[in-house]
Chains A and B, each alone.
Chain A
Amino acid sequence: MSQYTVRATPEAREAGAITLSVASLPESFGPAGDYDNAHVHAIAGHAGWTTEAARAISAGARGVVVVNPAPEDTDDLDDAAQQNGTVVVLDQRWASNPAATAAEVAVRSMAGRAAVLDVVATAPLGTDIGALIADQLAAVVRLAGPLGNLKLLDRRQNGYTATAVLANGAPVALQGIISDARPASVNITMLTDDGGARVTLPDPVAAWPATVKVTGPQGELLVPTIYESAHRTTWRRLKEHLDAGTLPSDLRQFAAVSEAIASLT
């Protein structure tokens, strides 16, 4: 059993609840005594994060955690990670939720016969609309794959409305709502002719479980709940890749999100 040492920027530590996540995986991670030679570098995903992550790789990091990455071109960073065998994982608000794996299977298995996909993201007052759009798209692209004809219809102080289509031509409706009256979350509903999938991914500020429900002619299945935040899941994934010597596909998947967001602006 390895223990990987961790260094984190103050912004990343705050945004990613890194102290809590690392403390909840005490056999796997620990604080870096030798800060400069920490195995894992955690950075915040504000503008320029790909450059910062590339610097961490050059400095010898074996793993890089990026908290809430903003849309950026990740091609060069991906190349650097591949060449150096560095594990770069992205800690995303909703897309990194541990239930996303089961939700992806549920949604994609019925995407070919989808009649409509409805996605509603809710976030508290003060949330940056651009960041909310990015978080929502990261979640929906993770679950449903790339969207076609993505277009922002309306953007205002308290939300936005966007439209797109699935590969089979079914309409996709995306809405963002800014309010303190509801828990921050994204709700993804795909309907088919005889059922559908309903996914609610909560914010990672607590280990609230996501819900993934699949409805078909036989009834409705609630996928087992997982009481683990997206932050902790990210660190656990990092550990698994570090131990196995494998590289995740986070950066390649994120490229699709960045591309989608670029098409909106």
Chain B
Amino acid sequence: MSSHTDATRILGVGILGAGPVTQAIHLPSLARLGHILAVRHIMDVDPTVAESVAARVGAAHSTSIDALLGDPDVDIVAICSPHQFHAEQVIAACRAGKKAVLCEKPFAMNADEAARISAVSQETAVPIIVGAMHTFDPGWIAASEDWGELPEHAHTIRSSIVLPPNARFEDFATEIITRPAGAAPDYSDPEVIKGALRGGVMGLAIHDLPLIRRFTPDFKDVEVLEARHVRPFGYVISLRTPTRSIELRAAMNNTWKPEWSFEAVSDDAALRIDFTPSYVQAGSAVATLTQGTRTTVHGPFEHNGYEGEWRELAALATGEKQPPSAQSLIDDLTFALDIAEATVTHVDTRNAVVEGARA
């Protein structure tokens, strides 16, 4: 499953944003790939964080995007900043002539931004990938080479996510500095519920929406049947297209036991993929593919999807591999945005019905 590059020199990495994801996910992943990649520059708006995180890997640090993009040692840029900055930073990285760009999901907040990114990527020929880590997981990739026509024939798709607090796994991966403070939301406020559901789709479900879209040819016709909030943070969202039933489940609570699964079922075949938790270097997903009476298990492999992303970036930067089509990235994004929007609209409609019944 490896995609080792034949690069003659080690590629330099610059990271925009040095929060917990950078500290606990990307730096440990890159530490396993020192033969092909090295962190050269860390940028964060907090100079103390930038300096501290950069010192861990012997990299330069700054509080300026321009400084990082102007650093000739940086070949590959990873954008790990807050969502609202992604689009502009992706465009700036492309214009800076870097060899490849990784943008954490979502890579844009609307279709217009996505189209601008696509245009710049085409103009500059800088390859972009979005950090949908599960699409780079060797377990998923192995399953994709074996699942035959299941994506065309699946009628039921499920994504189930149960996660302990992030800190549990961050602390297994590194020593975090500057953990963001959490607030206790007021769930009696319908706007808070809507915000939580939108955040659930764009922050959590989005990890697996590209997987779901792979099995949903008519994804543009997605419709929300029901959307409910799960306390303290999570969702139960039932979707359908003309040919698919899609169920999204998530609960982030105080359990110690994570579960992260993707399932696709047709009349005569079924795929279940059990992913390892984020943050920890616990190897790949395990994919169980049943076709008729035969069951095939793929994995576990030694690395996870985050490391897979970095291997892919190295291969893109050296021209060993071709980038994904911009349209595919745009479709993934618009699929997520459509679901988020329809979810909020559904909640609005339901609230209006309840209010009407009370009047």
- Point out residues on A near B: beta carbons under 8 Å: 115-116, 118, 120, 122, 125, 153-154, 156, 158-159, 161, 163, 170-171, 173, 175, 177-182, 191-196, 215, 217, 220
Contacts and interface: CB of A to CB of B under 8 A. Distances in A.
Chain A contact residues: helix, strand, loop or mixed: strand
B211 interface: no
Given A191-B251, A195-B257, A153 B238 contact: yes
Given A118-B249, A154-B238, A158-B155, A194 B266 contact: no
A182 B267 contact: no
Nearest to A195: B255
B142 interface: no
B39 interface: no
Interface stretch (B5-13, B226-234, B328-336): B226-234
A182 B265 contact: yes
Contacts, number: 102
A152 to B, nearest CB: 10
A240 B64 CA distance: 78
6 closest A-B pairs by beta carbon, nearest first, are: A181-B270, A171-B228, A153-B225, A158-B155, A194-B254, A116-B230
A115 B253 contact: yes
B156 A179 contact: yes
B309 interface: no
B268 A180 contact: yes
Contacts of B251: 115-116, 191
B245 interface: yes
B249 A179 contact: no
Contacts of B60: none
Contacts of B266: 179, 181
B155 A181 contact: no
A163 B155 contact: no
Nearest to A194: B254
B269 interface: yes
Contacts of B92: none
Interface string B245-287: 1010101011111000000011111100000000000000000
B63 interface: no
B318 interface: no
Given A115-B234, A180-B267, A196 B255 contact: yes
B247 A182 contact: no
B225 A118 contact: no
A159 B255 contact: no
Nearest to A165: B228
A181 B225 contact: no
Contacts of A193: 232, 253-255
A239 B158 CA distance: 42
Chain B contact residues: helix, strand, loop or mixed: strand
Contact of B268 (A156, A171, A179): A179
B234 A181 contact: no
A101 B103 CA distance: 50
Contacts of B265: 122, 177, 179, 181-182
A173 B234 contact: no
Contact of B225 (A122, A161, A194): A161
A175 B253 contact: no
Contact of A118 (B226, B236, B245, B270): B236
A163 B238 contact: yes
B158 to A, nearest CB: 8
Given A195-B257, A215-B255, 10 more contacts: A118-B160, A163-B226, A171-B228, A173-B249, A175-B247, A181-B265, A181-B267, A181-B292, A191-B255, A193-B232
B290 interface: yes
Contacts of A195: 255, 257
A161 B245 contact: yes
Contacts of A122: 265
Given A194-B253, A194-B254, A215-B255, A182 B270 contact: yes
B155 A173 contact: no
A180 B238 CA distance: 23
A171 B266 CA distance: 27
B253 A158 contact: no
Contacts of A220: 257
B240 interface: yes
B290 A181 contact: yes
B9 to A, nearest CB: 48
A131 to B, nearest CB: 18
A153 B225 CA distance: 6
B291 interface: yes
B340 interface: no
20 contacts: A116-B249, A156-B155, A158-B267, A161-B238, A163-B228, A163-B238, A170-B230, A171-B228, A173-B236, A175-B158, A175-B247, A181-B270, A181-B291, A181-B292, A182-B290, A191-B230, A195-B255, A215-B255, A215-B257, A220-B257
B18 interface: no
A118 B160 CA distance: 10
A26 B348 CA distance: 62
Given A115-B234, A175-B245, A191 B253 contact: yes
Contacts of B249: 116, 118, 173
B37 interface: no
Contacts of B234: 115-116
Contacts of B253: 115, 191-194
A154 B253 CA distance: 29
A115 B240 contact: no
Most chain B beta-carbon contacts within 10 A, residue among A116, A192, A196:
A116
Most chain B beta-carbon contacts within 10 A, residue among A177, A179, A181, A220:
A181
Contacts of A159: 155-156, 245
Contacts of A191: 162, 230, 251, 253, 255
A171 B257 contact: no
